[in-house]
Structure 1
Amino acid sequence: MKKSLLLAFFLSSLSSFSLSVQADDACEAVLCMFSKMEKSAVSECASAEKEFFGINVFEDDDDEKFDAEKTLEKRQEFLQQCKDADKDTISKILDNFGRKQGSKE
């Protein structure tokens, strides 16, 4: 019984760590995509931009047909993980970059 409780505690703390890292990544992406939108891109933002533009959704029946609306939804879900980000800022980022196809890498 003690082992089960300990394992449950360990797994829950691991999952919260993972969510925290994702939220940090999302906040970095918000800052970097906002700076890109404002034409003041920063070289340190390459990985955050790659992560953002790496979110691409293609239609189920055709791996080559980009689905801009579903991509927008997924990118919105990602950016909203940053609880400190202003909703208007996220909205502006998505208006500018939310539907653009990124690299297939």
Structure 2
Amino acid sequence: MKKVILSVLLFCVMASCSTTVMAADTCEVVLCMYGKATGNGGGSECHSAERAFFNIVKKNRHGFLPDHTADARKSFLLECDSAAPAAISQIISKYGPVRG
């Protein structure tokens, strides 16, 4: 009985944690990646934002899909309403199809 209760409790905790939770806010990712794209990196404060961006990877059984990865990263960056489309385009053109 204890194992069942612990299993249900563990399942509930895991279910409450969203799998899409990112370490960094979308707008923070846009800001840090734009700085990186223009040569003004944000230093250690941007590591989690850069990691969140480069962790978006699309693959199939044949390997890495650069165009699908770029599309997924672009749609992630577009979640930041205050980001300029030109900034997002610049980020995607430089880092969109790149492996992390």
Do Structure 1 and Structure 2 share a fold, with TM-score over 0.5? yes
Output the CA distance in 1 between the equivalents of 2:74 and 2:30: 10
The letter of the residue matching 1:89 is A
Cross-structure match for 1:96: 94
Q: TM-score normalized by structure 1?
A: 0.70
Q: Which residue in 2 is equivalent to 1:71?
A: 69
Q: Quick check: 1:36 aligned with 2:28? A: no
**TM-score (norm. length: structure 2):** 0.73
Alignment: residue pair count: 79
2:84 maps to amino acid? D
Identity %: 39
SS in 2 for 1:83: coil
User: d(CA) in 2 for partners of 1:34 and 1:41?
Assistant: 8
Correspondence 1:42-61 to 2 at 5 A? 42=42, 43-59=44-60, 61=61
Question: In the alignment, residue 65 of structure 2 is paired with which amino acid?
Answer: D
- Greater helix content: 1
In structure 2, list runs of 5 or more residues that go unmatched.
1-17
Provide the C-alpha distance between the structure 1 equivalents of 2:35 and 2:87, rounded to a whole number of angstroms.
11
Q: Deviation string for 1:7-28 (max 9, x for gaps)?
A: xxxxxxxxxxx8xx87x71100
Amino acid in structure 1 at the alignment position of 2:53: F
Q: Which runs of at least 4 in structure 1 moved beyond 4 Å after TM superposition? A: none
Cα RMSD of the aligned pairs, angstroms, is 1.7
In 2: Cα distance, 1:54 partner to 1:79 partner: 13
- CA deviation digits over 1:24-59, x for unaligned, max 9? 711000000011111111120000000000001112
